[in-house]
Structure formats: C-alpha cells, structure tokens
Amino acid sequence: MKRFVLCITGASGSVYGVRLLEELSRIGRVDVVVSSAGATVLKEEMGRTLKDVKEEFPKADFYGERDLTAPIASGSVLTNYEAVLVAPCSMSTLASVATGVNINLIHRVCEVALKERVKLVLLVREMPYSKVHLENMLKATEAGAIVVPASPGFYHRPRTLEDLVNFVVGKVLDLLGLEHGLYNRWKGGGK
C-alpha cells in the first residue's frame, strides 16, 4: 500500500489540501499534519473544522504540529513513504524548508524527506512573489524539493472552481506518477 504524508499550512488554498487528501486516501494511506494556522484557514475558507476533516477521513492518521515524537518525524519510518506533500505551503514554511529551520512537525518532516531523498512537493500559494520568496524556492529546489505554484491552466477549458482545483491537484499527482482523471490533458492544436 502506498503511503503519503500531507501537511496543510496556513496559506490560503486549504481546498488544495483537502482535495489532495481525498485523492491520496483513494490511493493509499495518508498521515496528515495540519498547522494551527492551517486549521484557522480551513475554517475561514471552507467552513470546516479540523474535527470535521478528521471525521470525513477516518482512515487517515492525524498528528499535531507540535508532536515531534510522531513516527513520521523519523527517517527510518519516512523512507517507507512515497512522498511528503505540503499543500498549501505557506511562505514561512517554505522559508523553514529552504533554511533547515525546524519549529514544528511539518518542518521536521520536510527536513527528513530532503535528507532521506523522499519526494517532497511544496504547493506554494502566494502572489506576487518577493525576492525572498523566489530565493527560498530556489534553495528548496536545489535541496531536492519540487516547488509547484498553485497556478491552474486553462487549456482544459475549466467551467467551475472545482475544475481549477482539480487541475492543480492533478498536476501534483502527475509529479508522483499517480493515475487520475482530474483534468483533460493537452491534445495539441492540430487536426
């Protein structure tokens, strides 16, 4: 069974995290860490509490952001996982990943993913980017993370907000080599 870690931070775009949780739960086992700011944004943007999400996904394992004794904080455990995803990824989380600063479990899991060469995907959600943001994206990329801006495409002719979210989530799943039918792929402009 495939295993994933999904971290939801306080950046706007909690819908991406919840939609990824839906898809990853369909594919395998998911361990989830939601920061306190992530829980606040989840409530503001989606009208859901962390308790609501836990009830909706009873097979997922949830860990508190301060639980540095969680199994996923260990390299010997995390090497058994397909990937660590941070969606959405706040700029402060990006900065922690880029500089190796550990303040909470999310930062620790990201650091462990980098050192153990477990795929780390950071779905950044901010605009515009400052020079500091861009430099941190470069540092994180050079360290081995995959930085993905939450930038939906339009060639699949989205009609709803869900179509736009599915495009971004589908692109993340593509990076993990996971099959899905979340958006129509580009077919080219030829005959």
In a domain, 163, yes or no: yes
The tens digit of pLDDT for each residue in 127-178 reads 999 999 999 999 999 999 999 999 999 988 999 999 999 999 999 999 999 9
In a domain, 191, yes or no: no
Residue 113 and residue 80: Cα distance in Å, rounded? Answer: 11
In a domain, 183, yes or no: no
In a domain, 181, yes or no: no
- Give the ranges where the chain is alpha helix by DSSP (H): 14-27, 36-46, 50-56, 75-78, 91-99, 105-116, 131-143, 161-175
Among all chains, which residue has been given the structure tokens 């944004």?
41
Q: Is 120 left (phi over 0), alpha (psi -120 to 50) or beta?
A: beta
- Can you read off the two tokens belonging to residue 18? 């919840």
pLDDT of 48: 97
What average pLDDT score do residues 100-113 get?
97
The answer to whether residue 190 scores a pLDDT higher than 60 is: no
pLDDT of 188: 73
What average pLDDT score do residues 15-38 get?
98
Average pLDDT, the chain: 96
In a domain, 182, yes or no: no
Cis peptide leading into residue 152 (ω within 30°): no
Backbone angles phi, psi at 17, to 5 degrees: -65, -45
3-state secondary structure of 73: helix
34 in Cβ contact with 53 (< 8 Å):
yes
Domain count, the chain: 1
Range of the domain at 55: 2-175
The tens digit of pLDDT for each residue in 42-91 reads 999 999 999 999 999 999 999 999 999 999 999 999 999 999 999 999 99
In a domain, 110, yes or no: yes
- Can you read off the two tokens belonging to residue 82? 């397909």
3-state secondary structure of 88: strand
**CATH number, position 161:** 3.40.50.1950
In a domain, 23, yes or no: yes
Tell me the whole-structure pTM to 2 decimals. 0.95
In a domain, 76, yes or no: yes
